[in-house]
C-alpha cells in the first residue's frame, strides 16, 4: 500500500472527520499567543541549547507566518496528523516549556507543519527515507526543513541486530558513537552533518516505516536517539518521544535502549522518555544501556 493511501485511510469519517484538524489548529493558535507574549519578556540567553548551536536572533515575523500557515492548513484540511490529540498534547506540553529549541523528527508527513509551528523560533529538522515523499510534502509546505536519509537495517533483522549490539563493543554505551561507526549496525551513519553536530533537546521517532519485513524499521533510530541523549555535552535532559509502541519491535527496543526508568509518560501509542547525559550518571561504563 502506498504512503498516500495509508494516510487517506487514517482520515476520520462522517461528522468526526473535521474534529482533529480543527483541534490541532487551536493548539497552534494557543502556541502563537504564548510565543508572542514570551517574545516580549524572555531573556534569550537563558533559552535552551538553541543559543549554543544557532547564532543570531529569533525572527519573530517569520515565526508568526509559519504558525498562521499551519492554522490555515489544519483548519481547512480533512487529512489528520498521524498522532491523535492526546498523543500530540504530550509533546506540545514539553515544547511549551522548552521552545525555542532543537527538535529532531524522524519522519515527514502532513503533521510536520504542525511540529514546526509548535517550536516557534526553534530549529526543527525532519529526516525522511523517501525522497519522492519529501517533494510531495514540501510542495504544500516549502518552509519545512527536511533531509532524505538512508537506513542500513530491515525490520526482519530486529532480533539479529539485538544480538549484534550485545556482542559488538562499538555498540556498547561506554564506547558508542554514531558518525562513521560502521562496526555497529545500529548506529546511523551517512546522515547530514547537522544531525551529528546539533545537541537535540527533543527527538520524535515516528519513522521510518516499520510495518513490513523489508521496511527499515525503527531499531537504529531508537538506538541512535539513546546514544545522542547520553552523549549530550550540556546538563539538560533529552526528551525522546516514540510512537507506535503497540508494535513489538518499538516496545522491545525502547525497553533495551531508552530504559523503563526514564519513561515519564505513556499516552495511547506514545511513550515519552527523559534521558540524562552520561555525565550525570553515577555509572555509565558497561555493555547495556538500561
pLDDT tens digits along 247-274: 999 999 999 999 999 999 999 999 999 9
Using the predicted structure, report yes or no on whether residue 72 has a pLDDT greater than 70.
no
Residue 212 lies in a domain: yes
In this structure, what are the phi and psi dihedrals at residue 238, rounded to the nearest 5 degrees?
-100, 130
Q: What is the pTM of this model?
A: 0.81
As a whole-number percent, the residues of the chain with pLDDT over 90 amount to 64
Measure Cα distances from 214 to 67, 102, 109, 154, 203 in Å. Answer: 37, 31, 21, 5, 24
In this structure, what are the phi and psi dihedrals at residue 215, rounded to the nearest 5 degrees?
-65, 155
What angle, rounded to 10 degrees, do the helices at 19-41 and 85-98 form? 10
The predicted structure's pLDDT at residue 182: 96
Total of domains in the chain: 1
Using the predicted structure, report yes or no on whether residue 8 has a pLDDT greater than 50.
no
Beta-carbon contacts of residue 26 (< 8 Å; ≥ 6 apart): none
Residue 71 lies in a domain: yes
The predicted structure's pLDDT at residue 234: 82
Residue 202 lies in a domain: yes
The predicted structure's pLDDT at residue 211: 96
The predicted structure's pLDDT at residue 282: 60
Residue 120 lies in a domain: yes
Using the predicted structure, report yes or no on whether residue 207 has a pLDDT greater than 80.
yes
Residue 132 lies in a domain: yes
Residue 40 lies in a domain: no
CATH number assigned to the domain comprising residue 256 = 3.40.50.150
Would you place residue 93 in the very low, low, confident or very high pLDDT band (cuts 50, 70, 90)? very high
Residue 262 lies in a domain: yes
Residue 73 lies in a domain: yes
Cis peptide leading into residue 208 (ω within 30°): yes
Q: Which domain holds residue 229?
A: 58-280
User: Is beta strand 263-267 parallel, antiparallel or unpaired with respect to 270-275?
Assistant: antiparallel
The predicted structure's pLDDT at residue 275: 97
DSSP 237-258: PEEEEEE-TTSHHHHHHIIIII
Amino acid at each position: 500500500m502506498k504512503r498516500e493511501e495509508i494516510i487517506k485511510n487514517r482520515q476520520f469519517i462522517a461528522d468526526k472527520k473535521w474534529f482533529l484538524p480543527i483541534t490541532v489548529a487551536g493548539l497552534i493558535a494557543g502556541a502563537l499567543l504564548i510565543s508572542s507574549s514570551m517574545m516580549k519578556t524572555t531573556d534569550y540567553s537563558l533559552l535552551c541549547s538553541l543559543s549554543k548551536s544557532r547564532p543570531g536572533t529569533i525572527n519573530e515575523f517569520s515565526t508568526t507566518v509559519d504558525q498562521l500557515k499551519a492554522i490555515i492548513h489544519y483548519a481547512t484540511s480533512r487529512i489528520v496528523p498521524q498522532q491523535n490529540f492526546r498523543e500530540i498534547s504530550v509533546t506540545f506540553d514539553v515544547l511549551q516549556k522548552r521552545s525555542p529549541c532543537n527538535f529532531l523528527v524522524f519522519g515527514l508527513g502532513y503533521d510536520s507543519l504542525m511540529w514546526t509551528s509548535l517550536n516557534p523560533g526553534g530549529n526543527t529538522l525532519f529526516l525522511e527515507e523517501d525522497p519522492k515523499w519529501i517533494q510531495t510534502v514540501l510542495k504544500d509546505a516549502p518552509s519545512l526543513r527536511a533531509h532524505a536519509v538512508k537506513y542500513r537495517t530491515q525490520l526482519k533483522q530486529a532480533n539479529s541486530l539485538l544480538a549484534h549490539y550485545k556482542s559488538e563493543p562499538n555498540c556498547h554505551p561506554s564506547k558508542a558513537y554514531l558518525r562513521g561507526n560502521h562496526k555497529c549496525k545500529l548506529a546511523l551513519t551517512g546522515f547530514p552533518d547537522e544531525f551529528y553536530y546539533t545537541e537535540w533537546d527533543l527527538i520524535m521517532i515516528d519513522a521510518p516505516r516499520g510495518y513490513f519485513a523489508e521496511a527499515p524499521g525503527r531499531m537504529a533510530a531508537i538506538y541512535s536517539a539513546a546514544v545522542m541523549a547520553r552523549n549530550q555535552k550540556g546538563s539538560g535532559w533529552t526528551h525522546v518521544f516514540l510512537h507506535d509502541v503497540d508494535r513489538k519491535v518499538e516496545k522491545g527496543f525502547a525497553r533495551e535502549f531508552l530504559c523503563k526508568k526514564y519513561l515519564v509518560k505513556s499516552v495511547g501509542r506514545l511513550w515519552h522518555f527523559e534521558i540524562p547525559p552520561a555525565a550525570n550518571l553515577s555509572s555509565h561504563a558497561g555493555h547495556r544501556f538500561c
